[in-house]
């Protein structure tokens, strides 16, 4: 019991990301409406972003911007690595968020085009029309 | 379909959960992600590039090649949406869409949007220009700039904004942003250094190599901001009007 509790509490960021990830995956597979599928994709994406950002965190560390960075002697002062959060996941997710918005735009554009041709965005109705 | 999906989801969840046991604890300072590469960036960013914001220096300098193609991806997404949705001007039948008349009904909204938009644009420029010393940079500033135009397009209608901000200008702007990024990298090549090694700019700008890295990053961030601004607004304009570029929502 103690072990399980420790497992949950010390790694609860992974639990949060896992729940969001599975929610998004389930929506992507099972939903019939294409817009709902895209919403599922967005949730999936958010889960990945949450995962990366939570990895970058360090206990007792501040944001990855150097203190007193303006001072001319700043270049020579000793830098404590443990005092700053890991900048690498932030960089990766920064671009991923904006690219995610662009791919969301492409997905919505494709859905609009599908609606223009088939006049529905329900997957089974589109499949019926294709079979005819 | 629901059952299959549920089975797949639960199986994947169990698999990932069992893998979670091997992952480092939350916020542990000696997790593998924080011990191999990132200490190098934190220790050397100030010395090598004179940029105190590690995120900016890693984004635009150490991983500049990656960011260049991220910008290209955004540009490609904008072009894709345009080519999927855009229709020619001579359309045969007009699509009938119910569009409520809303003249003079949203006076407060329009007045507020008109006053907020310049503030947003000014703040966006600050976010771009001060990205070296505070949280910010090209992507964030570009999104705020794009959002200010989207706000105006929501408060007025799309046509009013497109009269000021031509569609041709938006697309060319997206390409110009990418071109600025690639151009800054290519000039480094002409000056005898590696591609995107901004230290070469010291020969033109007359500053030290370290400061040239900082200036090169600023130029690159401006290119990113222009691309992101133009593509974000282009996405909104295309999606909200279904490629018609008329009144929009």
**Per-residue pLDDT tens for A33-70?**
999 999 999 999 999 999 999 988 888 888 888 877 65
> Which of B160, B156, B155, B147 lies closest to B235 in space, CA to CA?
B147
Inspect the interface and report whether the beta carbons of B33 and A13 lie closer than 8 Å.
no
ipTM of the complex: 0.88
- Three-class SS state of B101: coil
Inform me whether the C-beta atom of residue A99 falls under 8 Å from chain B C-beta atoms: yes
The pLDDT profile of chain B, 249 residues, written as one tens digit per residue, is: 889 999 999 999 999 989 888 888 888 888 888 888 889 998 888 888 888 899 999 999 999 999 999 999 999 999 999 999 988 665 555 555 555 555 666 889 899 999 999 999 999 999 999 988 889 889 999 999 999 999 999 998 888 888 888 889 999 999 999 999 999 999 999 999 899 999 999 989 989 999 999 999 999 999 999 999 999 999 999 999 888 877 777
| Alpha-carbon gap, residue A11 to B25, rounded angstroms | 5
* pTM of the full structure: 0.89
A33 touches chain B (CB under 8 A): no
Residue of B2, B6, B8, B27 to mutate when probing chain A, most A C-beta within 10 A: B27
Nearest residue to B50 via CA among B129, B128, B133:
B133
The domains found in chain A, sorted by start residue, are: 2-60+79-131 (1.10.287.3510)
How far apart are the C-alpha atoms of B201 and B61, rounded to whole Å? Answer: 13
Q: What's the rounded Cα separation, in Å, for the pair B71 and A49?
A: 19
Q: 3-state DSSP call for residue A84?
A: strand
Secondary structure, 3-state, A19-73 = HHHHHHHHHHHHCCEHHHHHHHHHHHHHHHHHHHHHHCCCCCCECCECCCCCCHH
Is B27 in contact with A53 (CB distance < 8 Å)? no
Distance from CA of B122 to the nearest CA of A (A): 21
Phi, psi of B31 (to 5 degrees): -75, 155
Enumerate residues 63 to 92 of chain A having a beta carbon within 8 A of any beta carbon in chain B.
Answer: 63-66, 69-70, 74-75, 79, 81-82, 84, 86-91
CB within 8 Å of B106: residues ≥ 6 apart: B155
In chain B, which residues have their Cβ closer than 8 Å to the Cβ of A59? 27-29
């Amino acid at each position: 019991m103690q072990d399980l509790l420790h497992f949950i509490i010390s790694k609860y960021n992974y639990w949060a990301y896992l729940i969001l990830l599975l929610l998004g995956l389930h929506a992507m597979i099972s939903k019939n409406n294409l817009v709902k599928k895209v919403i599922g994709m967005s949730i999936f994406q958010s889960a990945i972003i949450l995962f990366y950002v939570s990895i970058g965190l360090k206990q007792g560390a501040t944001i990855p911007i150097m203190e007193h960075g303006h001072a001319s002697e700043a270049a020579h002062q000793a830098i404590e690595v443990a005092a700053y959060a890991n900048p690498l996941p932030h960089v990766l997710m920064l671009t991923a968020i904006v690219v995610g918005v662009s791919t969301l735009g492409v997905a919505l554009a494709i859905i609009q085009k599908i609606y223009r041709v088939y006049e529905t965005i329900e997957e089974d109705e589109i499949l019926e029309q294709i079979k005819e | 379909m629901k059952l299959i999906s549920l089975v797949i989801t639960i199986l994947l969840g169990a698999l990932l959960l069992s893998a979670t046991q091997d992952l480092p604890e939350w916020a542990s300072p000696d997790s593998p992600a924080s011990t191999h590469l990132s200490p190098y960036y934190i220790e050397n960013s100030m010395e090598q590039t004179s940029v105190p914001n590690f995120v900016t220096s890693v984004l635009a300098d150490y991983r500049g090649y990656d960011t260049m193609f991220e910008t290209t991806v955004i540009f490609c997404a904008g072009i894709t949406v345009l080519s999927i949705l855009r229709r020619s001007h001579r359309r045969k039948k007009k699509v009938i869409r119910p569009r409520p008349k809303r003249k003079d009904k949203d006076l407060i909204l329009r007045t507020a949007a008109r006053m907020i938009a310049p503030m947003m644009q000014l703040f966006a420029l600050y976010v771009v220009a001060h990205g070296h010393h505070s949280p910010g940079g090209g992507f964030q500033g570009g999104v705020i700039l794009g959002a200010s135009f989207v706000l105006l397009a929501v408060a007025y209608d799309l046509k009013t904004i497109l009269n000021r901000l031509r569609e041709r200008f938006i697309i060319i702007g997206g390409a110009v942003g990418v071109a600025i990024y690639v151009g800054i990298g290519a000039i480094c090549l002409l000056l005898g250094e590696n591609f995107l090694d901004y230290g070469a700019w010291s020969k033109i700008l007359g500053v030290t190599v370290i400061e040239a890295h900082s200036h090169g990053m600023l130029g690159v961030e401006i290119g990113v901001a222009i691309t992101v601004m133009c593509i974000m607004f282009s996405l909104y304009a295309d999606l909200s009007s279904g490629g018609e570029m008329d009144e929009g929502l």
